[in-house]
Amino acid sequence: MCDEYFEEDMKKFLRQQGMTRRQFSAMSAAAAASVLLPAGASAQMVNGSDVMIETADGTCDAYFVHPNSGAHAGVLIWPDAMGLRTAFKQMADRLAASGYAVLAVNPYYRSAPAPVVPDGSAFGEVRGVLGPLMGSLNADTHVADARAFVGWMDQQSAVDTSRKVGTMGYCMGGPITMRTAAALLDRIGAGASFHGGGLTTDADDSPHLLIPEMDAEYLVAIAANDDERDPQSKDILRAAFDAAGKSAVVEVFEGTMHGWCPTDSAVYHHDQAEHAWSHLLTIFARALA
């Protein structure tokens, strides 16, 4: 799993920086507070609400947010291993203010409503809770859920069904975006994986093998320490996108650790998270136009 080495890498990072975990967490929280929502005249006013979506396996609790008026390209957000929580709702708000109708889902709805762990939890402290939840998901549930969620969005008046849908995922959500794009190639026009785990494996159902089946422009944002552990993955991804003739940015973000994008992460990296966000907006503006 993508968080398998998180605690080990965190301890190494803190030793290098000469900081305690408490000092680092306080610094990260202060940086995160400045980017929860966009500012400026270009930001649109948005309307967000908690929603319930019927699927073949039950009812999924989710968060849907969109500009106050008009119909817009839809975006489906797959959270990281910690699940749907405040940070991801704020992320959805921010993206909606840029002109998208955004659905952030609880991937664990079959087992528990969100949030499945308290806001601010450290992964190491809740690994015992998250392990079984992560283990309850697989390629089949990913695809079934993707169909249900995009189908639900397409029924909303705030979603412009003449435009393609985008999908973005973090950690375990990264590979889910690829399965979403392949299963719904007629609807998904752009995808983004942020510090996604397990994008390239030796298994027959490795997500990267689905690239020829996609019709989506892609961003794959890789954490520096993930690249150190698996330096071949980026090359495999680039070769797969090139062979399929697909447009993709596959980039290693220097100085980052796995999990650097969500604002509530202990390893949140403000500058590189903003760099990744700007890549995302550029791709979405072009591919979902």
Asked if the structure places residue 216 within a domain, the reply is yes
For the chain, the average pLDDT equals 90
> Does residue 32 fall inside a structural domain?
no
pLDDT at 38 > cutoff 90: no
* 104 lies in some domain: yes
What confidence score (pLDDT) does residue 176 get?
98
The predicted pLDDT at position 41 comes to 47
Residue 19 has pLDDT above 90, yes or no: no
What's the average model confidence in pLDDT over 72-83?
98
Flag whether 111 is in a domain: yes
Q: Tell me which of 11 and 80 has the higher pLDDT.
A: 80
Residue 241 lies in a domain: yes
What is the structure's pLDDT at 282?
A: 97
Give me the CATH number covering residue 211. Answer: 3.40.50.1820
Q: Tell whether 240 is covered by a domain.
A: yes
Instruction: Give tens-digit pLDDT for 57-74.
Output: 999 999 999 999 999 999
Flag whether 37 is in a domain.
Answer: no
Average pLDDT (234-245) is 98
- Interval 171-211: pLDDT, tens: 999 999 999 999 999 999 999 999 999 999 999 999 999 99
Confidence of residue 1 (pLDDT cuts 50, 70, 90): very low
> 99-154, pLDDT tens digit by residue?
999 999 999 999 999 999 999 888 889 999 999 999 999 999 999 999 999 999 99
Q: How many domains does the chain have?
A: 1
pLDDT at residue 165, as a whole number:
98
With a cut of 60, say whether residue 33 has pLDDT above it: no
Residue 152 belongs to what domain range?
6-20+45-198+206-287
The verdict on residue 143 lying in a domain is yes
Q: Three-state SS across the chain?
A: CCCCCHHHHHHHHHHHHCCCHHHHHHHHHHHHHHHCCCCCCCCCCEEEEEEEEEECCEEEEEEEEEECCCCECEEEEECCCCCCCHHHHHHHHHHHCCCCEEEEECCCCCCCCCCCCCCCCCHHHHHHHHHHHHHCCCHHHHHHHHHHHHHHHCCCCCECCCCCEEEEEECCHHHHHHHHHHHCCCCEEEEEEECCCCCCCCCCCCHHHHHHHCCCEEEEEEEHHHHHHCCHHHHHHHHHHHHCCCCEEEEEECCCCCCCCCCCCCCCCHHHHHHHHHHHHHHHHHHCC
